[in-house]
Amino acid sequence: MIKTTAKGTKIFTVSSSAAPEIRAVAELIRAGELVAFPTETVYGLGAHALRADAVAKIFAAKERPADNPLIIHIYDLRQLKTLAADIPEEAWQLAHHFWPGPLTLILRKKAQVPDLVTGGLDSVAIRMPNHTLALALLQQADVPVAAPSANLSGRPSPTTADHVLTDLDGRIAAVLDGGPCSVGVESTVLDIRQGEPKILRPGGVTPEEISAVLRRPCSLVHWLPQSEDAPPSPGLKYLHYAPRAPLYLLTGAPERQIKKMQELLQNFQAEGKRVGLLVSQESAGKFSGAEIIVLGSRRRPDQLAAGLFAALRSFDEKQVDVILAEGYSKKGVGLAVMNRLQKAAGPRVINVGGDE
């Protein structure tokens, strides 16, 4: 089914990778147009990765800083060698194990990758998404596809076609609507070029899983905006995942978090503010009189991840003045959930003591 919005963006709604509409979307990519498409993590904003004119449109549509590089999406391992040089054995091991899936590998770039894609770096980010529609689209386009998350720069990543249109309607040629994304947070970005493998952004694949495959430690890079060194990944410099209202993130023992949240809720309400609460199933019953969004069980980080960005966006719609969010354990994909919540909170993190 095809519809066109009042601002001129085409919506192709498909439910199977055999749908004939995918061919039309693939043709748009080949022609140098921008197309948003679903992946297992979040929706991506795709363009022909080897055409600088097409890639330039991504930065314009998203209002993305030019030094923040893009991930190239592939559907076949054979494409890897055409984009990256000096590929270490461990990169092949990880690709065989985790692809298609939410892992992005940072490798040395080959000359045919435009500098615009890599923000002028000599490295390139590559992944193979685990989504049947994305794979069908990549296969039919049959070119590498550069795709950042399909949101305006700084906003929460989109996990539905509606989210994409909220930010980019009229700025892109088309969106392929394949329903909501399953993982809900972006891919893990891993630098595997030399030394100990370093996670530049935690995501859908956990450090524990990577260590288990490589049989050696894999650590998360820490970099603070105050640092005088260049960030290991340019994306670390920029504001991210920000809902419109300020978000306060609580961390520490769950019972203490609940007490503190009740206290903050009362204080903000006394000031006449509309408060949004982002909580787990276990804590939801402890609150009333606020806009409450329940993400899932605190013991199921996959549930927390799947609903996180949609929740941040729906607080925008509910026009709350302030958001209070519960913090969770960093086990498994909980690490990525806490990373996104911390970025959304910026300096507004309140530690109440004790373990999550």
Residues that bind Mg ion (CB under 5 A): 149
Residue 159 makes contact with ligand TXA by CB under 6 A: no
Give the C-alpha separation, 19 to 338, whole Å: 37
CA–CA distance, 328 with 323 (Å, rounded to integer) = 16
Q: Candidates 23-31, 122-130, 288-296, 327-335: pick the segment binding ligand TXA (CB under 6 A).
A: 122-130
Quick check: 34 binds ligand TXA (CB under 6 A)?
no
Q: 187 or 257: whose CB is closer to Mg ion?
A: 187
Of residues 22 and 42, the one with the C-beta less far from Mg ion? 42
d(CA 173, CA 25): 9
48: left (phi over 0), alpha (psi -120 to 50) or beta: beta
Give the residue at shortest CB distance from ligand TXA: 235
39 forms part of the interface with ligand TXA (CB under 6 A)? yes
Taking CB under 6 A as the rule, does residue 189 contact ligand TXA? yes
User: With CB under 6 A as the contact rule, which of the stretches 14-22, 121-129, 212-220, 265-273 interacts with ligand TXA?
Assistant: 121-129
Strands annotated E in the chain: 2-4, 10-13, 35-37, 44-48, 71-73, 84-85, 103-109, 123-127, 145-146, 174-177, 188-191, 198-201, 219-220, 247-251, 275-279, 291-294, 322-325, 349-351
Residues 228-287 that bind ligand TXA (CB under 6 A): 233-235
Q: Which of 68, 182, 211, 269 binds ligand TXA (CB under 6 A)?
A: 68
CB atoms within 10 A of CB 270: 8
| Least Å from the CB of residue 177 to ligand TXA | 15
| Number of neighbouring beta carbons within 10 Å of residue 162 | 16
- Of the candidate residues 147, 275, 306, 338, the single one contacting ligand TXA (CB under 6 A): 147
Residues 6+ apart with CB under 8 A from 141: 26, 29, 30, 48
Say whether residue 71 binds ligand TXA (CB under 6 A): yes
Both tokens assigned to 272: 């006449």
Question: CB of residue 329 vs ligand TXA: minimum separation in angstroms?
Answer: 22
Given the complex with ligand TXA, which of 43 and 268 has the nearer CB atom? 43
Residue (69 or 327) nearer to ligand TXA, CB: 69
Q: Is 348 exposed, middle or buried (0-12, 13-18, 19+ CB in 10 A)?
A: middle
70 binds, among ligand TXA, Mg ion, none (CB under 5 to 8 A by kind): ligand TXA
Output 118 or 339, the one with its CB closest to ligand TXA.
118
As measured in angstroms, the least distance from the Cβ of 351 to ligand TXA is 26
124 binding ligand TXA? (CB under 6 A): yes
Intra-chain end-to-end CA distance of the chain, in Å = 46
Q: How far is the CB of 127 from ligand TXA (least distance, A)?
A: 6
Residue placing its CB nearer to Mg ion in the complex, 247 or 322: 247
Cα(190)–Cα(221) distance, integer angstroms: 10
Per rule CB under 6 A, is residue 113 in the interface with ligand TXA?
no
* Residue 213 C-beta: closest distance to ligand TXA, Å: 19
CA distance 311 to 7: 26
91 binds ligand TXA (CB under 6 A): no
d(CA 245, CA 240): 13
Cβ–Cβ < 8 Å for 316, 243: yes
Strands 349-351 and 247-251: parallel
User: Which residues of the chain form contacts with ligand TXA (CB under 6 A)?
Assistant: 39, 41-42, 44, 68-71, 102, 104, 106, 118, 121, 123-125, 129, 147-149, 186-187, 189, 200-201, 233-235
